[in-house]
């Protein structure tokens, strides 16, 4: 655990994310303090299937993020660069969290 934090952080340099990503896919829970779950629940559909439905029941997920990551600014820049009128942040968060949890067996 780097820096004594409860969240697994990368100890590599900013330029070597691809190498870390390759290791993450091989052993997603390696180096993390979390237990690996029994596997993605069978009754949970893939995120793309849910997000492509016309009507989606939604629930709120309240979260604050570190300001240093400048996520709001980066999302706005992404939307502008890709000429997007609407950026579905809830969908982006859904996919990211679903992949993160699935990689850890939950």
Of residues 36 and 69, more confidence is placed in 69
pLDDT tens digits, 1-24: 444 444 454 445 444 444 444 444
Which token pair is 24? 């993450």
% of the chain with per-residue pLDDT over 90? 55
Task: Give the residue with greater pLDDT, 3 vs 101.
Answer: 101
Q: Would the pTM count as exceeding 0.85?
A: no
> Per-residue confidence at 86, pLDDT binned at 50, 70, 90?
confident
Q: Is pLDDT at 41 greater than 50 in this prediction?
A: yes
Task: Determine the pLDDT at residue 31.
Answer: 59
Token pair, residue 46, equals 């893939």
13-45 burial string, b = 16+ CB within 10 Å, else e?
eeeeeeeeeeebeeebeeeeeeeeeeeeeeeee
């Amino acid at each position: 655990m780097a820096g004594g934090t409860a969240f697994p952080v990368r100890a590599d340099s900013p330029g070597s994310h691809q190498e870390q990503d390759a290791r993450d896919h091989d052993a997603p829970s390696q180096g993390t303090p979390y237990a690996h779950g029994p596997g993605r629940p069978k009754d949970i559909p893939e995120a793309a299937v849910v997000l492509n439905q016309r009507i989606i029941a939604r629930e709120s997920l309240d979260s604050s993020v570190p300001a240093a990551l400048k996520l709001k600014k980066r999302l706005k820049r992404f939307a502008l660069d890709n000429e997007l009128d609407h950026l579905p942040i809830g969908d982006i968060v859904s996919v990211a969290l679903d992949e993160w949890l699935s990689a850890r067996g939950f």
